[in-house]
Chain A
Amino acid sequence: MSQVALPQDLDQALAALAAPGARAVAGGTDLMIALARARREGDELPATLVELSRVAELERLEPQGRPPLVGAGVTFRRLAQDPELRRRYPILSQAAATVGSVQVRSTATIGGNVANASPAADGVSALVALEARAVVAGPAGIRRPLVSELITGPYTTSLEPGELITGFELDELEPATGQVFAKVGRRRAVAVSRLNLAVVLDAELADPRLVLGSCFPTPRRLGRAEELLTGGDPGPGLWQAAGRAAAAAFAEASGGRASAVYKVPAIKRVAARALADAWQAVGERS
């Protein structure tokens, strides 16, 4: 049986997490399923569950801040609805809006999404495209790894026992960037991504970013497609070439995985369309 800790602030949370066998509970939508499975199978439960929902420091949402900050405890529902975030970082609110159902979005948090490190995490692809850094507090103080480095593999991170993600610092982007999040799942809502794509384009195509999720052990930037886009001549030809490069990157990494049969053509088309949409958004925002 697990005990519970109800910290009221970050210091109390870190103190509770320092105890042996303590486990952080963010939204709980992944953890509660794991706990239920452990109970059915008679596996050991965490000694203490540290319920983080009362820690005000984790609830900050400051897209206009310097640096722009998203607290780890912010739910997907808030991310999807916050007007300032939608204006400045539409890619993150779009990704949030595609996560689960209203019920799940009201509960699940962006910090939990990253700490759980599912290869299909929609929030992670958006954060990687924003070159976000995780703010990680722990016994040794604070460190700020890139989200792309914090997540080391499927369901694995470099978080040490006693460490807690408190938030994410986002890249300050030029005002005129086009941002698009696209997703393919089994149904339009409440679907785990079979693939997701996060695209950020600037008006000069100086720093194009293309992230593919649900296709690799962790969401990954597609270097060769990004190189192709950099300084390129914007238009359908360029978007399609980048889509082919994206699909090739997946085909190379996946080997003969069964899902490649539909994922390769799907990536090609979804990437080309997302790039076209992002470029259109550049035009609208500049």
Chain B
Amino acid sequence: MELVFWLNGSEARAEEVPGHWSLLELLRDRFGLLGTKQGCGVGECGACSVLLEGQVVNSCLTPAWRAHGRRVTTIEGLAAGGRPHPLQEAFVAAGAVQCGFCTPGMIMAASDLLAHNPDPDQEQVAGALAGNLCRCTGYHDVVRAVRKAARQMVEDGS
């Protein structure tokens, strides 16, 4: 059976995907989408976060076959119209990145939050990112970047 799903807006197909594979393996090892990181492998660090049907999940804990017939969005799929996503721009502008390993996961978790809550307060941002660990910078600038992106998105009407 062939695994068929919607990957960043386009149809994607993969042959002979083992039943025990994770979505993370499918994305990295079959499709070469290396923006999604493997960190802890047990669902604590959030570096592997992607959207499945618009909800943020740990792709390391999600079976690859769960994606069959469904929509998956990775960090590579956020930019639109030749422009980075407002979250990506805000992370750069706010200096919310140091080594960058956790950043794609942070941004995917934040994009789920902003899709459901366009104007989160500091506490709500912290709650939404509780499953994403950063070992470089601390979280202050990350929270600032998410709130900045939220304001930008309301302004853009996106």
A residues at B contact (CB < 8 Å)? 1-4, 6, 25, 27-29, 32-33, 35-36, 39, 45-46, 48-49, 51, 53, 77, 100-104, 106-107, 188-190
Contacts and interface: CB of A to CB of B under 8 A. Distances in A.
Contact of A101 (B1, B19, B46, B65): B46
B63 interface: yes
Interface of B: 1, 18-20, 22, 41-44, 46, 49, 52, 55-58, 60-63, 65-66, 68, 109, 112-113, 127-128, 130-132
B158 to A, nearest CB: 21
B60 A32 contact: yes
Given A2-B20, A28-B63, A106 B130 contact: no
A45 B55 CA distance: 29
Contact of B19 (A2, A100, A104): A2
Contact of B41 (A36, A49, A53): A36
Contacts of B65: 4, 6, 49, 51
Given A1-B19, A106-B57, 5 more contacts: A4-B1, A33-B42, A36-B22, A102-B113, A107-B58
B63 A106 contact: no
21 contacts: A1-B20, A4-B1, A27-B61, A28-B63, A29-B58, A32-B62, A36-B41, A45-B20, A48-B19, A100-B131, A101-B46, A101-B130, A102-B56, A102-B109, A102-B130, A103-B49, A103-B131, A104-B61, A106-B52, A189-B127, A189-B130
A103 B66 contact: no
A106 B1 CA distance: 27
B44 A190 contact: yes
B18 A103 contact: no
Contacts of B22: 32, 36
A263 B56 CA distance: 34
